[in-house]
Every structure is written in C-alpha cells, then in structure tokens.
Structure 1
Amino acid sequence: KIKGSGGGAGAGIGVVPLGFLTARGKEISFIPVDKKTALTTLFEKVPDLVEKMAEMKNKEKGDSEKE
C-alpha cells in the first residue's frame, strides 16, 4: 500500500473579465465591462480594419485585372 506524505501546495489567481463578445447576425462586437483601455479599443477596431484591408485588396485586384 502506498502512503502519501500529506503535503500539499496551492496557488491563487484572480480573473477579471475585460468584456463580452456579442454576435448579431454577421456582426461580432466587444462590449467592455470597465473603462475603455487601449487594448479594448484595439479589439473594437480590428473587425473594421480587417474589412477595410479586404476591400482595398479587392479594389487593387480589380484595378490590375482592368489593365
């Protein structure tokens, strides 16, 4: 029979929510819980930036096909 030593260890962490992701149709939004920080502002702008970059890429592709 194996007997343990009875020792133990523990650690504590804290988790603070930054906000919530919400989906409405094809749109996904980030709703911050607390004051806006640079990080939450960045998260809010990422979808718009990705969409604009895709539009620019498609426009460039269309322009190059016309030549």
Structure 2
Amino acid sequence: MTAFSHDCPSVTFTTEKEAADYILQTQVGGYVLASPKGDVLYISPAKTLKNMVKDMCKYISSARAPK
C-alpha cells in the first residue's frame, strides 16, 4: 500500500470489493489485476514490488485516460 500511495497517488484503496474498480491478486511469479467481476485485466510479470507497482500504475493510468 505504501508503494502504491507513493508512486501512484491517483489510486485510492478500499477493502470493500463491491466499491473497488480493480482487485490486485498476488501469485507466485506474478501479479494479476482483475475487475471486481473477476475478469483479468492485466498481468504483471514483475519480480519486484517496485516494478509491479510501476506496471500497475501505468496500466491504471492508461485505462483511465480518455480515448
């Protein structure tokens, strides 16, 4: 949480799954960003927390950008 709040300040956090835009799932060998319905949106193969946060922040920023 600290890494996200430092490197990606536009991301807000909740423990309420129903109110979340994204669910972060940690797995051995990678991290998965999913929708609250369970759809896989992004898979980060990052091996370190710092790189995972960077990957996820970049994905979230691009997903929120107007098209």
The one of the two structures with greater contact order (alpha-carbon pairs below 8 A, sep at least 6) is: 2
Taking structure 1 as the reference length, the TM-score comes to: 0.31
Task: Mark the structure with the bigger radius of gyration.
Answer: 1
**Structure with the higher fraction of residues in helix conformation:** 1
Taking structure 2 as the reference length, the TM-score comes to: 0.31
**Structure with the higher fraction of residues in strand conformation:** 2
